[in-house]
């Protein structure tokens, strides 16, 4: 396994700048997730690392060695695609053996057999080896794809939204399996997704991409608890973070168009106009709460209920545990965990 570093990578297609000056490093044995909406440049980054695309400028390094001139085959990476990467004309066994039969490796057949059998056991697909890939379910296909990647111990795994075409239950279980496997095998992995849950749950570190720019790099805790911009704040967490305009008035701090006056945050100087981010789980209904509002809507999800509270003209989402008894139209009081508030300036940048 290797570390992979990108230095000042830029890439543009005919009309769009896909990546602009992107630099980050995936450490050896790390699970790194690139998170961003469609069109952010995630897949482009992945394809540049695999040499399926050539960057306009910048350098790719594997283990501190420049690999820009190397072909995809020479870079020795494994790529797991969103779909379509299993060869439909071959059996599962032949699909798994395919990378080992490459002219670069020329593995003897008995060794191939041992490796394929071993990988099939890890992924619990031994019973599928003789089957044609067209006859597999979505989950089975994706496990074979992952199997084809791990069968040859590449320098890095590149995964391009491998879970996004699967149904919710399957995605949940494969997420756990992937994470477990990556940690027990110590594979360097770069995983691309637009799904913030996948990023938060699996990553050692996350890189957030937006419109070709790397916005923030950090652990899931960094990204969730200290989002660098409002974009990042809104990208992670479900239900979405509440973003409300805040202002200063006679030393107190208030949320505009609402009944909420907050004590001014201690030890920091804020400009007069800010955006305040409040995660829904940091707002909780409390009979002794210092803020008041009306319940507009409740959405029970089972483990918790999303409660839409209207305070003045501001709408806030809050989370209540379990399936709540609260009804819409009821006036409630609530509290906010003040030390978990996020402040952003008018351009969306986090205020330190």
- Subset of residues 303 to 322 that bind other proteins, contact rule: CB under 8 A: 303, 306, 308, 319, 321-322
| CA 47 – CA 9 distance, rounded (Å) | 12
Give min distance, CB of 119 to other proteins, in A: 14
- Is 143 a residue that touches other proteins (CB under 8 A)? no
CB-nearer residue toward other proteins: 222 or 345: 222
User: By 3-state DSSP, what share of the chain in percent is helix, strand and coil, each rounded to 5?
Assistant: 30, 35, 40
CB-nearer residue toward other proteins: 171 or 276: 171
Q: Which of 17, 165, 201, 314 binds other proteins (CB under 8 A)?
A: 201
- Is 299 a residue that touches other proteins (CB under 8 A)? yes
Q: Which of 30, 44, 62, 99 binds other proteins (CB under 8 A)?
A: 99
CA separation (Å) from 325 to 294, 295, 301, 310, 319? 14, 12, 13, 18, 13
- Is 8 a residue that touches other proteins (CB under 8 A)? no
CB 33 within 8 A of CB 192: yes
**Coil vs helix vs strand at 61:** strand
- Is 117 a residue that touches other proteins (CB under 8 A)? no
Q: Which of 224, 253, 334, 344 binds other proteins (CB under 8 A)?
A: 224
Q: Which residue has the tokens 């066994």?
A: 93
Give me the residues paired with residue 253 across strands.
248, 262
What is the bridge-based pairing of β-strands 77-80 and 156-160?
parallel
Distance of alpha carbon 102 from the chain centroid: 32
- Is 127 a residue that touches other proteins (CB under 8 A)? no
Give min distance, CB of 254 to other proteins, in A: 26
Give min distance, CB of 248 to other proteins, in A: 29
Distance of alpha carbon 52 from the chain centroid: 23
Q: Which of 88, 186, 263, 271 binds other proteins (CB under 8 A)?
A: 88
CB-nearer residue toward other proteins: 85 or 258: 85
| CA 306 – CA 238 distance, rounded (Å) | 10
**Coil vs helix vs strand at 105:** coil
Q: Which of 202, 228, 274, 332 binds other proteins (CB under 8 A)?
A: 202
Q: Which of 175, 213, 226, 248 binds other proteins (CB under 8 A)?
A: 175
Q: Which of 87, 153, 249, 257 binds other proteins (CB under 8 A)?
A: 87
Which parts of 23-62 interact with other proteins (CB under 8 A)? 37-38, 47, 50, 52
- Is 103 a residue that touches other proteins (CB under 8 A)? yes
Which parts of 228-267 interact with other proteins (CB under 8 A)? 234, 236-240
- The span of 21-29, 175-183, 247-255, 265-273 binding other proteins (CB under 8 A) equals 175-183
- Is 292 a residue that touches other proteins (CB under 8 A)? no
Burial class (CB in 10 A: 0-12, 13-18, 19+), 147: buried
Name the nearest CA neighbour of 337 among 300, 304, 291. Answer: 291
CB 51 within 8 A of CB 70: yes
- Is 284 a residue that touches other proteins (CB under 8 A)? no
**Coil vs helix vs strand at 239:** coil
């Amino acid at each position: 396994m290797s570390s992979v570093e990108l230095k000042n990578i830029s890439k543009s297609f005919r009309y769009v700048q896909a990546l602009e000056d992107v630099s980050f490093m995936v450490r050896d044995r790390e699970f790194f997730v690139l998170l961003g909406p469609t069109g952010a440049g995630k897949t482009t980054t992945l394809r540049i690392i695999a040499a399926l695309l050539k960057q306009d400028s910048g350098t790719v390094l594997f283990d501190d060695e420049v690999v820009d001139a190397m072909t995809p085959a020479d870079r020795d990476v494994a790529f797991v695609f969103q779909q379509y990467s299993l060869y439909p004309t071959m059996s599962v066994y032949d699909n798994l053996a395919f990378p080992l039969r490459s002219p670069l490796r020329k593995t003897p057949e008995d060794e191939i057999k041992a490796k394929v059998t071993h990988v099939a056991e890890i992924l619990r697909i031994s019973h599928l080896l003789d089957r044609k890939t067209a006859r597999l379910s979505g989950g089975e296909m994706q496990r074979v794809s992952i199997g084809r990647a791990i069968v040859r111990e590449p320098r890095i795994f590149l995964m391009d939204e491998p879970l996004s075409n699967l149904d919710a239950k399957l995605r949940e279980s494969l997420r756990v399996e992937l994470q477990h496997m990556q940690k027990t095998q110590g594979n360097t992995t770069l995983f691309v997704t637009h799904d913030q849950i996948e990023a938060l749950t699996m990553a050692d570190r996350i890189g957030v991409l937006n419109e070709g720019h790397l916005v923030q790099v950090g652990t899931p805790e960094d990204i969730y608890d200290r989002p660098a911009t409002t974009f990042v704040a809104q990208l992670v967490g479900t239900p979405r973070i509440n973003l409300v305009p805040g202002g200063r008035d006679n030393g107190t701090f208030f949320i505009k168009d609402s009944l909420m006056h907050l004590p001014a945050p201690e030890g920091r100087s804020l400009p007069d106009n800010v955006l305040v981010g409040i995660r829904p789980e940091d707002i909780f209904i409390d009979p002794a709460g210092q803020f008041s509002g009306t319940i507009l809507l409740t959405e029970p999800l089972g483990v918790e209920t999303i409660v839409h509270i209207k305070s003045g003209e501001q709408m806030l989402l809050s989370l209540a545990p379990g399936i709540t008894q609260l009804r819409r139209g009821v006036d409630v009081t609530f509290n906010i965990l003040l030390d978990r508030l996020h402040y952003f300036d008018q351009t969306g940048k986090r205020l330190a």
